[in-house]
Amino acid sequence: MERISGTEAFDSLLDRLMEYLGEAERALARSAAGPDSPVELVRTSRDLVEILRSRVHREIGRLAPMLDPDLMAYLIRADGPEDPTPIRREVTVLFVDLHGFSELCEHTPLEALVPLLNRYLELAWACIRAEGGVVDRFMGDAVLGWFNAPFELPDHPYRALRAAWRMQQEVLHLHAALPPEHRRRYRIGVHLGEAVLGPIGTRAFQTYTLVGSTVNYARRLQEAAPPGQIMISRAVFERVRERIEARALPIFPVRGGAQVVPVYRFLGFREETP
């Protein structure tokens, strides 16, 4: 599916409805004229659709900050599923955490804390979106993003690394505008694998989100990353190894067992810097 915005997706639904009404209007054009004729009723319906379009645009504008644009478009587009069912897809998951945020909370006045946190979160959001990723949610000072769902994204492991790298570079520019005590670094984990995307929750309240061991493993990589560093899994490394520089750190235990798997510290790109 082509990536479009939520407003464009809803417009496509209304445009299709307007086409149906136009066909009905033409079919009834030979009917007797008058305020109660079928043609006039269809024309009134077309006017109501345009009123609906205006009001829905306003409501989408209000809801847009609460749902990723790609997820919104996928859920309401004309050719999308009426009742979205879970899909299983290979994805690259990117988990981001702001190191030292708890300490920052203890020593920063409330009126300054939230705007400061939002600046860090907005930077992370912008970097993920710029590479075609989805930002699922913010969890305090953490960010969950992924690539290649619900819309397919070629080269998604590489794009995820571009987003992570850009994040670590651009936060240094943000630091230039902040006092030293407000400067924090991101810890980032990136993993590649299958996950399930779908409506998760109860009948009364659901979140359209990504679940599975791939998400959990990305978070564990993030937890192991030093401040300012990007930890990637072997799956990510194998997919992009010819295009990146990375250092193997084969000391990562798999939770629930004695197995130790290699992970890598991402060092940069061989041919280009995003």
Domain locations in the chain as residue ranges: 6-76, 87-269
Q: How many Å apart are CA 4 and CA 17, to the nearest integer?
A: 19
Give the Cβ contact number of residue 6 at 10 Å.
24
- The DSSP-derived string for 120-189 is HHHHHHHHHHHTT-EEEEEETTEEEEEESSSS--TTHHHHHHHHHHHHHHHHHHHHTTS-GGG---EEEE
Mean per-residue pLDDT, 148-164: 95
Average pLDDT for the chain: 81
How many whole angstroms separate alpha carbon 25 and alpha carbon 209?
A: 42
pLDDT of 172 over the 90 cut: yes
Neighbours of 35 (CB within 10 A): 7
Q: Is the dihedral of CA 25, 30, 31, 34 positive or negative?
A: positive
> How high is the pLDDT of residue 168?
97
| Predicted pLDDT of residue 217 | 92
According to DSSP, the residues that pair with 95 across neighbouring strands are 144, 189
Q: Which CATH number applies to 87-269: 3.40.228.10, 3.30.70.1230, 3.40.50.970, 3.90.1490.10? A: 3.30.70.1230
Q: Residue 46: its pLDDT value, please?
A: 61
Q: What local confidence, expressed as pLDDT, does residue 132 receive?
A: 93
Residue 78 has pLDDT above 50, yes or no: no
Sequence-distant (6+) residues with CB within 8 A of 272 are: none
Higher pLDDT, 255 or 234: 234
What number of other Cβ atoms are within 10 A of residue 10's Cβ?
Answer: 21
| pLDDT tens by residue, 20-50 | 556 655 555 555 455 555 656 556 666 666 6
Q: 219 pLDDT exceeds 50?
A: yes
Does position 90 have pLDDT exceeding 60, yes or no? yes
Q: How confident is the model at residue 95 (pLDDT cuts 50, 70, 90)?
A: very high
User: What pLDDT does 237 receive?
Assistant: 97
Phi, psi of 97 (to 5 degrees): -135, 145
Tell me the percentage of the chain whose pLDDT exceeds 70. Answer: 64
